[in-house]
Structure 1
Amino acid sequence: MIRRSIDKVKEIMQWGKLLLPLSSLRFYPPKFVLRNPVLEGVVTAFQTGHEVAVIVFNLQNVAELAEQLGENQHRHLQRQIKKAFREVVLEELDEQDIISLHDYYGDGLTLVVQVDHDCHYISEMDRIMKNLTNPVEKRLHKLYQSIQLQFETGYMFVDKKHYSIQESIEKAQRQAIAMAEKRLAAKYDSMFYTINNIISQKNIKLLAQPIIDVATNEIRAWEMLTRGPKGTALESPLPLFSVARQTGTLYELEMIVLEKALEQIKAAKCRDDVFINFTPITLGNIRFTRDVKNLLQRVRTILPTQIIIEVTENDSIEGLKDFIYNIKMLRLMGFRIAIDDTGAGYSNLSTISEIMPDIIKIDRSLISNIDKNSLKESMLKGLLLVAREAGSLVVAEGIESEEEASVLTRNKVDLAQGNFYAPPTVLMRDMAT
């Protein structure tokens, strides 16, 4: 029954995707890299509640290829690289998410795309980069069978809080290039040093956003949200977690989040349920359950039954051999499991049937302006059906208006969170029930 429900939701969501307006891909030569069209696209993305990512693709062995091919053949290769990327980008990405694809210099290309606001979509960057570079490399290999092409990739999110959006775009591009060209030791090592300094000093801050019972308007739980050092480029969770991921320190960062969350729950004497986010990569780490047990021993007043492990990101859990085992162990310890971002895509719908979560969190992309969009409400009803079949509670995220909240009430959604109810704040004593 749950499989039929999931298939029905997939069908509804596919039609929803087809009904969305399409915009044409903009491919700019170098002199137009940061002119108005890109700037306007970034501003529009911010105004519609998205974040913007700058992804850099750089041909790794460019010097050797130039010597091997000669000048004319090398120029032909450059043209073929641009053509292949343009074709693959149009095939792999939704056109409305593409802001620009352009040269930044030589053999390098920069893709600017809008992405969901949530920090958990950092894994989406890895998926995008893999889904673009692999087919491009295969197409070019057919043309140049005697050479081996390989691209270095890196990405960074545009800081929307910067006083100048254009300067923020430029900065994000420089950082993305540094990530791609790890040979540029000074820039890359600077980021590596910064994130390691944050981890060694545990220099993060946690905010808590209440999760509300839709029927009674009472607080039922809290979600812990991470912020980096105040006033720095890594204060926002998007760059913080993306740099951690690209520098191989994501597991350490997420374990510090858990440690800080447990300390804050204890200090506030919170008795409500608390959601703590983890990526599938961290949850699939063979050390995870052992490290969780060690942290719980330090705060014996907190029971696992109070904590909800929230599985973030909408990518596949395939290939993470210890993921399902760890989920089973966490359940045996008393933790409950939630799946985040449901409705943002349908890869996580198969995850629902795989782990049968206790709680399903519906992404704000589905909730935004749901009062004005009957198709979104139909999708919500489909996901509620899936949740009932799975025996899961439902949390709707990102509620910004009374009108959106009224749709949740009408459809008997269990729980909700968003700025309409309360913004994130520091969890303090007497706040929690």
Structure 2
Amino acid sequence: MWSTLMQGFRRTPLFSLDKRQWMKSIISQEVEKGRSVVMFYVDIVKLTEVENRYGDVIAKRVLHIFERILPAVSRHVFEIRGRILAIQKLWGDDFAIYVSFGGSVNEEDCRMLSIHFQEQAEKQLNRQVSFVNREELRVHIGYANLPGQDIVKEMYTSVKHAVHMAKYGITSEKYTNVTQFHKLLTEENIQMHFMPIIHLPDGETLGWEALARGPIDSPFASPSMLFNYAEETDTVFRLEHICRKRALEQLRYLKPQQKLFINLDPRAIDDPFLLRGEVFSLFEQYGLNPHNIVFEITERHAISNYAVFRKIIEEYRKKGYLIAVDDAGAGYSSLESITEIYPDFIKLDMSLIRNVDVDPIKQALLETFVQFADKVGCKIIAEGIETQRELETLMEVGVTYGQGYFLGKPDKGMTQVSGQAMNFLRFMQEKRESEQGEPLLFTPAMSEILAKTICVEKHAKVRRVHEIFEQNQRIESIVVLEEGEPIGLIMRFQLYQILGGQYGIALYYERSISQIMNANPLKAFKDDRLDEVARRAMARDAYHLYDVVIIIGEENEYIGIVTVQSLLDKMASIKLEMATSANPLTGLPGNVQIERELNKRIKQRESQLVIYCDLDRFKWFNDRYGFEVGDQIIVRTANLLKEAVKRFGSTTDFVGHIGGDDFIIITQADCAQELVSFLMDAFSPYFADIYEKRRMGDGAVLSMSMAGVRLIGGKYVNVEGLAERAAYVKKLAKEQAGTVFLDDGDFRAEEMYRSQV
């Protein structure tokens, strides 16, 4: 057979089972000459059915005839435009025809040549195969370009490409779409849109999810069509690789605390681009680190081998990447994925979020997810939020993060939360703050729990930092400075995790510490409220939850650190003290805390006002109607004072219960007028239902006398002097009828006070 074929096709190298190196050489020579090489794949449609129907002998005769006519048909069709380099038998009835064209050749040229070849091959084949009389034999054909950059690899991928094209039929719309899809992959013509992920309590942007889009004027504009064709053509890994490259091009727009969420198909997880260090130059260029990247393990396909999968995930973790489980609650194996992967984030599928505001079962499921996430130390992100009511319900059940069209639609740039959503989140924040209890009475300065650690300059080598940790086993953190200001933090466990990776030491050991440090550590001023710093510390993501807090001075200079353990211990101590000293009836701070607060305020320089509040005729009501009514009056008074402070006071204001019917308010001087006016207007209506039902013949009603003492730095040296002044002003106030306020700055009060002294 070979001699016959060679005689009939002298000018063209013909069939070979495997001459890849020879073919590589031939193709390389053509590419170097500036010619285009195209591989045309052909086979006989359903040759197996011929074998089943007519037997093995007939099938072999059909294949023999096809092999015999192939050179002549190929020469007749392709040498109109180009030159045949070789015809290679791949397997069975599958053949590859390599054709060289002068200059470039476009898609339409290849398509028309393919149609012409198909027509001629089928005509010749059916003319010579006369024993097959029930239906005509058909020929598949597809094609793929070989750019000549990696020829051996291209020879393999071009066959896969051409096979996918061939099975749809050269004249079908599907064939055209597959051709466009492969062109899209070759040109990497993928656009990325970005959807904001919002921290719901304050409206800050946690990061963005990168979403792939094809060209707008193509069938692949929607991500569903894009990935459907990738599934059909077995190019998911290649498509996702392009998407990740495109997404990571946007790193330059991230702030150190923000994150880029990138989808990662379980079948395409082992991407050398991510695991072999190629991407780390981007982090270095933009001052970021792998902790700014969150890989979403999508649940479109179940994970078949968790042992292998978990091993790869651990490689990502050692590099510093974060992991999220996507589409949780949508089916497949999301719960198993969560238990196997231990994600940093759980993204709840939109099917759980849709109409959650009117579905109690979904609400119950969400509450379970939130409780679970709290226990295992990960964050919940709700996907697909489309209405304000859905958002409000999610916040009520404790979901911390969200994304969806109501919050912000995906777009080409790093979009921000929508104006409508931002206004609503601000309203919810104000509502939440107004419902919170009064601030802690005694909030010690951060300096009381301050500790020291070793600092290095940003140019210090990772090697040097590692040596410091090795030599100082009790040190768990090192602060990175630039001209005395802290710009980063490295924790012991984080450094060891990075260096413990497969290429950790080789990649980082001789680089500067600034390339792997946390460039956005939590900082606090030395005078910040301890409870507020604790809240900010515990709101961090799981990876940084136990990082130390860096304490800075007014000029942003480094002062020291506070560990999360010491912060929580102090908070627990304060809460215990409050519980033991607070008034059992109203829950307000009692005398021990009041005295401590007054001493602290006396030392401050800003202008403040101390208001002593005393109920008038309370004893009469208590004796006549019993302690239950008396307790009700005391509790209502406490609530009224707290409401006044929340509505008109400042965040540093304080409310205390001295005992009995005596209370104290400490507020800023510029807040006092509105606060007092509210109390005077609201007091009588606040108790109307109590004293109207019990009013006796003497017309007894409740009222309140308020004595204000201006607290200016240096005016008082101790609480005793302040109390003496307040007692006198309160005496003057009680001499007046009704609910009154008397300020010690008032001329009459000042004059009378001096005459008594």
TM-score, normalising length from structure 2?
0.32
Deviation at 1:298, TM superposition (A): 4.2
Q: Is the 8 A contact 2:193 2:411 kept in 1?
A: yes
Match of 1:182 among 167, 170, 177: 167
Q: Which amino acid aligns with 2:304?
A: E
Q: Is the 8 A contact 1:400 1:418 kept in 2?
A: yes
1:294 match: secondary structure? coil
What does 1:36-115 align with in structure 2 at a 5 Å threshold? 63=49, 67=53
Deviation at 1:194, TM superposition (A): 2.0
Q: Which residue of 2 aligns with 1:277?
A: 263
Q: Which amino acid aligns with 1:326?
A: I
For 2:292 and 2:311, how far apart are their aligned partners in 1? 21
Q: Deviations over 1:300-344 (max 9, x none)?
A: 223101010111125321237642222101101110000000111
2:216 match: secondary structure? coil
Q: Deviations over 1:234-293 (max 9, x none)?
A: 11000101111221221111111111111122156675111111111111x3746435x2
Whether 1:228 and 2:214 are equivalent positions in the alignment is yes
| Number of corresponding residues | 264
1:403 match: secondary structure? helix
Change (3 A) 1:422 1:183: closer
Change (3 A) 1:192 1:310: same
Q: Is the 8 A contact 1:269 1:429 kept in 2?
A: no
Instruction: Give identity over the alignment, percent.
Output: 32
Change (3 A) 1:246 1:319: farther
2:347 match: secondary structure? strand
Q: Which residue of 1 aligns with 2:228?
A: 242
Change (3 A) 1:336 1:269: closer
Whether 1:420 and 2:402 are equivalent positions in the alignment is no
For 1:304 and 1:343, how far apart are their aligned partners in 2? 27
Deviation at 1:409, TM superposition (A): 1.1
Match of 2:342 among 352, 356, 362: 356
Whether 1:295 and 2:283 are equivalent positions in the alignment is no
For 1:196 and 1:267, how far apart are their aligned partners in 2? 30
Deviation at 1:231, TM superposition (A): 1.4
Q: Which amino acid aligns with 2:275?
A: R
What does 1:3-402 align with in structure 2 at a 5 Å threshold? 63=49, 67=53, 182=167, 184=169, 187=172, 190-266=176-252, 272-283=258-269, 285=270, 287=272, 289-290=274-275, 293-300=277-284, 301=286, 302-319=288-305, 322-345=308-331, 347-402=333-388
For 2:415 and 2:366, how far apart are their aligned partners in 1? 35
Change (3 A) 1:271 1:294: same
For 1:399 and 1:180, how far apart are their aligned partners in 2? 40
For 2:395 and 2:328, how far apart are their aligned partners in 1? 19
1:251 match: secondary structure? helix
Change (3 A) 1:332 1:424: same
Deviation at 1:190, TM superposition (A): 3.7
Q: Between Structure 1 and Structure 2, whose CA radius of gyration is higher? A: 2
Deviation at 1:346, TM superposition (A): 5.6
For 1:389 and 1:219, how far apart are their aligned partners in 2? 24
For 1:316 and 1:232, how far apart are their aligned partners in 2? 30
Match of 1:404 among 364, 387, 390: 390
Q: Is the 8 A contact 2:346 2:379 kept in 1?
A: yes
Change (3 A) 1:259 1:289: closer
Q: Deviations over 1:25-81 (max 9, x none)?
A: xxxxxxxxxxxxxxxxxxxxxxxxxxxxxxxxxxx899559948xxxxxxxxxxxxx
Q: Is the 8 A contact 2:177 2:219 kept in 1?
A: no
For 2:253 and 2:202, how far apart are their aligned partners in 1? 27
Q: Deviations over 1:113-171 (max 9, x none)?
A: xxxxxxxxxxxxxxxxxxxxxxxxxxxxxxxxxxxxxxxxxxxxxxxxxxxxxxxxxxx
Change (3 A) 1:254 1:314: closer
For 1:288 and 1:321, how far apart are their aligned partners in 2? 22
Q: Which amino acid aligns with 1:351?
A: S
Q: Is the 8 A contact 1:210 1:424 kept in 2?
A: yes
Q: Is the 8 A contact 1:282 1:288 kept in 2?
A: no
Q: Which amino acid aligns with 2:394?
A: L
Q: Is the 8 A contact 2:356 2:363 kept in 1?
A: yes
Deviation at 1:183, TM superposition (A): 6.0
For 1:418 and 1:395, how far apart are their aligned partners in 2? 10
Looking at both structures, which has the greater relative contact order when contacts are Cα pairs under 8 Å and sequence separation is at least 6? 1
Change (3 A) 1:423 1:260: same
Deviation at 1:296, TM superposition (A): 2.8
For 2:246 and 2:271, how far apart are their aligned partners in 1? 21
2:249 match: secondary structure? helix
For 1:186 and 1:202, how far apart are their aligned partners in 2? 25
Q: Which amino acid aligns with 2:267?
A: I
Deviation at 1:380, TM superposition (A): 1.1
Large movers: runs of 4+ above 6 Å: 178-181
Deviation at 1:358, TM superposition (A): 0.3
Q: Is the 8 A contact 1:339 1:357 kept in 2?
A: yes
Deviation at 1:295, TM superposition (A): 2.6
Q: Which amino acid aligns with 1:366?
A: L
Q: Is the 8 A contact 1:228 1:235 kept in 2?
A: yes
For 2:264 and 2:274, how far apart are their aligned partners in 1? 12
For 1:205 and 1:360, how far apart are their aligned partners in 2? 26
Deviation at 1:297, TM superposition (A): 2.3
Aligned Cα root-mean-square deviation (Å): 3.1
Q: Which runs of 5+ in 2 are unaligned?
A: 1-45, 55-162, 418-519, 521-757
Change (3 A) 1:310 1:207: same
Q: Deviations over 1:335-385 (max 9, x none)?
A: 000000011126110110101100000000010001111111111122223
